[in-house]
Amino acid sequence: MREVGIPHPRLPLPEPGQGDDPQAFLAWLMDAIPMVEHLGIREMRWEGESLVWELALGPNLNDKGTGFGGALTAQTTLLGWCWATLWLRQRGYARDVVVAEASQRFLAPVTGDYRIVCAAQSEQGPASLAERLTSRGRGRIALVQQLWCGETLCLEAHGDYAVLAAG
């Protein structure tokens, strides 16, 4: 069990030019953030520039038998954090990432297993973040997370993630 106020050890950076093994990162994440093992994440993978989670609905049910909004919100926020953290690690940065602002719009009930897709809000976002990291040592990126149940878009979330300066 994690102790309050004690940071979890960082995962070693991948070899230069290599990305993290998604399953190894997910295993580390479950140790680092105890609630993650209860979110029903079945798979994490990159699809181009998008990070995708496949999730089971069972652990995330509400009293109505559909997806619990609080769990879904936590998942979209955490997936954005993962996108930013993995993007940084792929480029050799071991930095802290925090969510600065987040919003969600619920569009339809989640009635079965689902997937959440996270990507940069704008095509220029990653390049802009890279430039800010070089010039200022810190930066921000806007990300969008979409939750799909089959072909139905059930939730769209937006998050602004800050990359803190080294030190």
Provide the whole-model pTM: 0.95
Q: From the DSSP assignment, how many helices (H) and strands (E) are in the chain?
A: 3, 6
Q: What is the pLDDT of residues 1-46, one digit of tens each?
A: 678 999 999 999 998 878 899 989 999 999 999 999 999 999 999 9
Instruction: Please report, for the chain, the start and end positions of each structural domain, with discontinuous segments joined by +.
Output: 29-163
Residue 38, pLDDT score: 95
69-90 vs 22-32: helix crossing angle, rounded to 10: 120
Which phi and psi angles does 135 have, rounded to 5°?
-85, -35
Q: Which CATH class is domain 29-163?
A: alpha beta
